[in-house]
Structure 1
Amino acid sequence: MFRAQRPRTAQLTPREVDGPVSGVALLLPGGFVRSHFGPLRIAELGLQGLAAELTERGRPHGLAVHLLRYRYSGWNGADADTAVDTRRALDELARRHPGAPVVLIGNSLGGRAAFWCADHPSVAGVVGIAPWLPSGDRVDHLAGRRVLIVHGTADHSAANAAQSLEYALRARRVVPDLARYEVPGGNHYLVRRSADINALTTDFTLTALGAETAPLATGAVCAPLPVRS
C-alpha cells in the first residue's frame, strides 16, 4: 500500500527556497533491488525530516532542496533505472540552476544511485545513508568530490555495513578525507539516530557547498556517529 502510482517520467519535487539558487541538495530515497512498481512512498516520507532541516538551515545560503521521485522503485539489474533517473535529474537541475553545485544525498538504494552519478560535472559532494554499495562498484570517479557515509553496524540487509566499509576503504585512495560514521547496533533504518544523522548530513552539505564550515571528522572509515548537541 506504500507504492505510489508509477510516473511516466522521474519527477523532482518543487525547490524549497525563494530567490536565487546558489546550491542544490538532491535527495534520493530507497527502494528495492528489483521492482517496476512506482516510487516507494514510505521511503520518501523517511527523508522528510532531513529535507526540512536542509531547507531551514540552507535558506540563508540559497540552498534549493529537491527529492527525486523515480519512475520505478527498483534498480532493475543492468537497466540501473534509479541511476538513469538521477543522472537525468542532474541534467535538469543544471539547466534550471546553471553553475549551482549539487550534493547528492542517497538512502539505501538511492545511495547507490548517488555514488554512481558522482561524476556528473555539477556534483560537489555525495552522502550515503545506509547506502547499497555492492562489491565492485567503481570509486575512481569520486576524485575531487567530498564523501560522507553513515551506516549502522547491525545493518544486515542487502545494503549492509560490511559492503559500505569495503567501498569506503577503496574510495579513500581517491578521496583521502572521506568520512564514514558508524551507528553502533544500528539497523538499516536508523530511526533512533535520525536527528543526529540529519544534523551531520546538513553540516556536510553546507560545508561541501562552501556555505558553512563544520568540524567534521575526515579520513576515518569507522568513526562513531556524533551526538547532536
Structure 2
Amino acid sequence: MFRAQRPRTAQLTPRQGEGPVTGVALLLPGGFIRSRRAPVKAAELGLRGLAAELTERGRPYGLAVHLLRYRHGGWNGTDADTAVDTRWALDELARRHPGAPVVLIGNSLGGRAAFWCAGHPSVVGVAGIAPWLPSGDAVEQLAGRRVLIVHGTGDHSSAGAALSLEYALRARRVVPDLARYEAPGGNHYLIREARDISALTTGFTLAALGAEPAPPTAGAGAVCARLPARA
C-alpha cells in the first residue's frame, strides 16, 4: 500500500541574532507564478548575504532575522499561497516575539506577498527587491508603513521594473515618502548589485524599526532615483 503524503506546511527558519528581540526582519524568497511543487532552494540562497548583513548590523538592537519557507513554490492564482503563508508567518512571529515590530523584505514573488500583507498590525515597513507587482494590486494597506522598492531597469521578466514603477506611483497616494531606486541595466536577479542592495535594505530595515537614522531616500515625488553605491 502507498502511504498518503502529508500536506506540506510553511516554516520559519531558526532565528538569526541574539539577545532580547525588539524587532524582526522577515525574508520572503522568490518563486514562480504557478507551482505546487516544493520551493526551489536557490531562491533562499539569493537572500543569504542580506540575511547575514541584517544579522550583523542588527545585533546591537535585538533584531531577529527569519526566512519563510513556503508550502508551495508558486503563487497559484486566487489561492495566493505565498500570501497565505506570509500571513501565517506574521501571526507566528507575533506569538514568538510579542509586541515586536516587523519589516517584510520580499524578493520577486516574495515581494508581492510582502506588499499584500503589509496591513498586518505587526508590520511597520515593507521592502521589495525586484518585486512582482501586477497592475491592479492594492496599495491602501501600505498606509502608515515605510516602503522601499529596488528594481533593475533591465528587468523584462513578468516581474518587470515597469510594473513596480506603476505600483509606486499609485502607492504615493498613501505613502508620500515611499522610496524607489533603480539599478541601471540590472536584470531580475540583480547579482552584480547585491552588495549595494543589501546595504540599502538593511539601513531601511533598521530605520523602519527605529534603530538607526533613516538613510537617504529617493526624494519627494521621485520614484526613479539611482541605486546609491555602498560607501
TM category, shorter: over 0.9
Distance 2:230 2:50 in 1: 14
- C-alpha contact 1:83 1:116 (8 A) present in aligned 2: yes
Whether 1:186 aligns to 2:175 is no
- Structure 1 segment 26-175 matched on structure 2, within 5 A: 26-175=26-175
**Residue type matched to 1:167 in 2?**
Y
2:196 & 2:206 partners in 1: Cα distance? 16
**Which whole-Å CA distance do the structure 1 matches of 2:18 and 2:201 have between them?**
22
TM-score between the two structures when normalised by the length of structure 1: 0.96
Q: TM-score, normalised by structure 2?
A: 0.95
Q: Check if 1:225 corresponds to 2:227.
A: yes
Alignment RMSD: 1.0
After superposition, give the CA deviation of every residue in 1:70-120 in whole Å (9 maximum; x if it has no partner): 000100000000000000000000011111000000000000000000000
State the distance in 1 between where 2:183 and 2:81 align.
Answer: 29
Listed as ranges, the gaps of 5+ residues in structure 1 are 1-5
DSSP 3-state at the match of 1:191: coil
SS at match of 1:150: strand
Secondary structure of the residue that 2:25 maps to in structure 1? Answer: strand
SS of the residue corresponding to residue 158 of structure 2 reads coil
How many residues are treated as equivalent by the alignment? 224
Cα offset, 1:7, TM superposition: 7.0
Structure 1 stretches of at least 4 aligned residues deviating more than 6 Å after TM superposition: none
Q: Does 1:211 align with 2:211?
A: yes
For 1:146 and 1:40, locate their aligned partners in 2 and report how far apart those are by CA, in whole Å: 29
Assess if the C-alpha contact under 8 Å between 2:207 and 2:215 holds in 1. Answer: no
Q: CA deviation at 1:141?
A: 1.0
Q: Deviations over 1:13-61 (max 9, x none)?
A: 0011222100000000000000011111001000000000000000110
Q: CA deviation at 1:215?
A: 2.8
Contact 2:112 2:133 in 1 (8 A): yes
Which amino acid counterpart does residue 160 of structure 1 have in structure 2?
Answer: G
8 A contact 1:35–1:75 mirrored in 2: yes
Stretches of structure 2 lacking an aligned partner (at least 5 in a row):
1-5
- Where 2:86 maps in the other structure, the secondary structure is helix
